[in-house]
Structure 1
Amino acid sequence: MEKNKTGKYFKYAIGEIILVVIGILIALQINNWNENRKSSEIRDNYYEQVLQDLEKDTAYINVIIKNLEINILNYQNYLEKLSKAESTDDILAILFELNWEFQYINFNTNTIESLISTGDIKLLPDHLRNKLLDLKTTQNAILKVTSGNDNNWLQNSQKAAGLGVTNLLLDINPKLLNQLNRKEDIISAINIINGTFQLKDFTEKNLLNSMKNLLDTIKELSELINAELNK
């Protein structure tokens, strides 16, 4: 009798253990499912934010490209006129047809930086994670090169202006203007301007190619993200 009861209790205990284990496994599965769902929601939210950043960058880059093409053409026109100049007066007459404006480049990188700083970038599949990191690296390289060249161009332009070339744009009495602007200073200013605009043109041509390549990268990345969202 006792042995029979012991056998029943033993079987009952085993059944209880099995039920507990099954319950734990189900709870773990539900927990994993909830965690995966949360991760998926976070990942999709990042996808949407990245797409918004890329859309803004696309519009921004297209404006930059348009301005760069205008600047490059403007400089080519200047060079054509410069080749026909016979005196400093001829150069001064066309000098201010050049576009003296420039702008520092700035990309929308908040989401990428947030992904990196929080470590959430690990939520993305490898191919997307690598694409985003490559994009950030490319953007940083563009910013570093153009910023350095633009600073150099700005310093030299200010140096040329300090030699008195900008006095020609001001309403100054001709007699006083002759006293302010020495011929040797004007010649130095012209040489500085020609040199610095060569750097500006070189920078803008390289930047133009980089921006066009960047548009292709952004388009490809956007398509990959949309494919992930539509899964």
Structure 2
Amino acid sequence: MISLFRKIRQQLLRENRITRYLVYALGEIFLVVIGILIALGVNSLNEQRKLKEAERVLLQQVKTENEYNLDIFSRNVGYFQNVEKNLLEMVNALTDSSVPNRDSIVKSQLNSLLDISKVDFSEEYLIRYLNASQLGENELIPDFIEMKDLYQALELASKTSFDYKFASILSWLEEAMDLSTGEILNMEKLENGVFINRIIILGAIELDMAQKMQLGMDQAEKIDSLLTTRLIK
């Protein structure tokens, strides 16, 4: 094709037909420009397709990660939904020796309290998606940002609760119960006002954690629904 254009151009120059040559030259330039634009368009479409596919893969990873975190919520939600009632029940049992099944209540609530440790959510792919600037703004971004902030708030609240339990509760219980079996060895130690005040303070910490857990679970369920809809398109 290039050889043909060159021959036509040389023929026009030999015949001194300048006007026709100029028209031909402009036509040739126009065809070249059109070819470049078509190539750029095809390349742009390919790049967009690759970005869409990369986004889809990343969103699937976010969904898998979110399902893992939903499992964490489901395993802890029972405790946090009842934490206020359970701690009040334990405080009441510790301050009133006439409560029926007193020892059983205190033992059960203390073991439940000690069984809850720090939560550690997975948010690697969520953050990757938020940091992927080439994906641009879309309707998922606000919910993803809210979820990331909730994870960070929950992990901080969880650490605060865990540290308080370790420093102020567990150290006291070492002298009052068998930590390996959960059996109470010294009820008088647990009836002490200092320990009861520590349980009340822990209750305030755990209630804050419970509220954040419910918000986090609601948001994780919302994101799961959004991602399911997005990925089936």
Q: Is the shorter-chain TM-score for this pair beyond 0.5, marking a shared fold? A: yes
SS of the residue 2:217 aligns to:
helix
CA distance in 2, matches of 1:169, 1:102: 15
Superposition pairs for residues 123-202 of structure 1, below 5 Å? 123-161=135-173, 164-166=175-177, 186=189, 190-202=192-204
Name the count of aligned residue pairs: 212
**Cα gap change, 1:82 to 1:70, in 2 (>3 Å):** same
1:27 aligns with 2:29: no
CA distance in 2, matches of 1:66, 1:158: 22
TM-score by length of 2: 0.76
* 1:101 equivalent in structure 2: 115
Preserved contact between residue 160 and residue 192 of structure 1 (Cα < 8 Å)? no
**Cα gap change, 1:95 to 1:216, in 2 (>3 Å):** closer
Question: What is the deviation of 1:225?
Answer: 2.7
CA distance in 2, matches of 1:48, 1:42: 10
Preserved contact between residue 91 and residue 196 of structure 2 (Cα < 8 Å)? no
Gaps of 5+ in 1: 171-176
Question: What is the deviation of 1:65?
Answer: 0.4
CA distance in 1, matches of 2:71, 2:156: 21
Amino acid at match of 2:79: N
Say what the alpha-carbon RMSD is for the aligned residues: 3.2
Preserved contact between residue 83 and residue 207 of structure 2 (Cα < 8 Å)? no
CA distance in 2, matches of 1:70, 1:224: 29
**Cα gap change, 1:225 to 1:21, in 2 (>3 Å):** same
SS of the residue 2:165 aligns to:
helix
Preserved contact between residue 59 and residue 129 of structure 2 (Cα < 8 Å)? no
Amino acid at match of 2:219: T
CA distance in 1, matches of 2:170, 2:95: 25
Identity of paired residues, percent? 21
Deviates more, 1:52-61 or 1:40-49: 52-61
Amino acid at match of 2:176: V
1:77 aligns with 2:89: yes
Match of 1:11 among 9, 23, 43: 23
Spell out, residue by residue over 1:50-102, the C-alpha distance to the aligned partner (whole angstroms, 9 max, x if none): 1111122122201110133455444333233234228xxx9888654422332
TM-score by length of 1: 0.76
Amino acid at match of 1:113: I
